[in-house]
Each structure stands twice: as structure tokens, then as C-alpha cells.
């Protein structure tokens, strides 16, 4: 057997890999570990082509009840291409002090959260990890409290953000999501 077909196959695979990376929208070119897990997810590989609502969450916040509305959005629009991504953060008022295992248990048992949740993350200006820095650069707004929401369209463009006081089920958020689906 000639080595040439194997070489061509290997080079072709590398080129496709580079091409896939080149086609990743900058808003999704990040990797995170699943909450309380070992699996790392490259956002581009998992969610490119979807409408995404990114939320910084906390379990001991006055806005924690928004988990229910976020899960409802996930259930209602998931089949049409929406995904909600939760990123617990302890940056505001020490309102997410628990371990990732405690956060996961709370979300599942209290709010039946099934949408993807990721590792505890810094989101506050000056501390923010690169993903939240990118979201803030695109919108001009870093989270000022828990449950800030960032909307990303199917092409990976950050199209809007919503503050903590805006319910995920508000007409403004729902209309924006529906227009992108």
C-alpha cells in the first residue's frame, strides 16, 4: 500500500480542521468545562448555527427565580434552535459561594434546569474571563449584577443584551429571540 493516500487523507483532515476553526464565529471561539464535570465544550462546535442566550447566574440572588423563565425559554424554543447557556458567577454580593456540585444540585432540584451550565466564571469588568470581555466589547456593557443576558444570532453576532431587571420572558426578549429563529 502506498503512503500517498494516507498522507493526503491526513493533510486533508488537517485542512478541514483549520477551515472549521476559521469558520468559527469569534463570539463562540471559547472553551468551557461543563458545570461540576470534566467535559470541555468548545462553544463553536456545540452551538454554532443556533440562537444563544448567555446568562451569568447566581443561586442566592433576588433574580434567581429567573432560572424558571430561562428553562421555559429553553424548553419552548429549543426545537427551533435556541440554546440558553448559564455561567454561574460569584462576582456580585457573594451570591454564588457554593461548589459547582452544590450549584448544579440547586439548579436541578429547585428549578429543574436542563439547559447547559458551565464552570463558575468571572464576569465583572476588570475580572471578566475572555468570553465575557468579548460580550462586553460587542455590547458596551459588562454585567453589573447577576442574570445579565446576552443574545447571539445564528451567525455568531452578539445582537443585544438585557440587564438583570429584564425578565427572560419579557416581550422584549421573547420578540428578539423569535425574530432570530
Residue 130: the pLDDT is 97
CB 59 within 8 A of CB 95: yes
Average pLDDT for the chain:
91
DSSP secondary structure, 126-137, as one string: TT--HHHHHHHH
Q: What is the end-to-end Cα distance of the chain in Å, rounded?
A: 50
Which of 55, 42, 24, 48 has the alpha carbon at shortest distance from 135? 55
Catalytic member of 24, 44, 61, 107: 61
Q: Which three cell numbers stand for residue 74?
A: 429553553
Q: Please return the burial class of 141, using the count of CB atoms within 10 Å of its CB with bins 0-12, 13-18 and 19+.
A: middle
Q: How far apart are CA 120 and CA 97, in angstroms?
A: 10
| Residue 22 predicted with pLDDT over 80 | no
Closest CA relative to residue 131, chosen from 17, 44, 69: 44
Distance CA 129, CA 134 (A): 9
**pLDDT (0 to 100) of residue 21:** 55
Of residues 124, 59, 50, the one with CA closest to residue 86: 59
What tens digit of pLDDT does each residue of 83-105 get? 999 999 999 999 999 999 999 99
- Residue 48: phi, psi to the nearest 5? -60, 135
- The CATH class of 25-180 is alpha beta
Instruction: Delimit the domains of the chain by residue range.
Output: 25-180
Structure pTM?
Answer: 0.88
What pLDDT digit, counting tens, does each position of 100-114 carry?
999 999 999 999 999
Active-site residue 44, yes or no?
no
Amino acid at each position: 500500500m502506498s503512503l500517498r493516500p494516507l498522507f493526503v487523507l491526513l493533510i486533508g483532515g488537517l485542512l478541514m480542521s483549520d477551515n472549521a476553526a476559521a469558520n468559527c464565529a469569534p463570539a463562540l471561539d471559547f472553551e468551557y468545562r461543563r458545570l461540576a464535570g470534566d467535559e470541555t465544550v468548545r462553544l463553536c462546535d456545540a452551538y454554532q448555527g443556533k440562537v444563544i442566550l448567555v446568562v451569568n447566574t447566581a443561586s442566592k440572588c433576588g433574580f434567581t427565580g429567573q432560572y424558571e423563565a430561562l428553562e421555559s425559554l429553553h424548553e419552548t424554543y429549543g426545537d427551533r434552535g435556541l440554546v440558553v447557556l448559564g455561567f454561574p458567577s460569584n462576582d456580585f454580593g457573594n451570591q454564588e459561594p457554593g461548589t459547582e456540585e452544590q450549584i448544579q444540585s440547586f439548579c436541578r432540584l429547585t428549578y429543574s434546569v436542563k439547559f447547559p451550565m458551565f464552570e463558575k466564571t468571572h464576569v465583572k469588568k476588570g475580572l471578566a474571563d475572555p468570553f465575557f470581555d468579548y460580550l462586553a466589547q460587542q455590547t458596551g456593557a459588562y454585567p453589573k449584577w447577576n442574570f445579565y443576558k446576552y443574545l447571539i444570532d445564528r451567525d455568531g453576532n452578539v445582537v443585544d443584551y438585557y440587564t438583570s431587571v429584564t425578565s427572560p420572558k419579557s416581550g422584549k426578549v421573547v420578540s428578539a429571540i423569535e425574530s432570530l429563529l
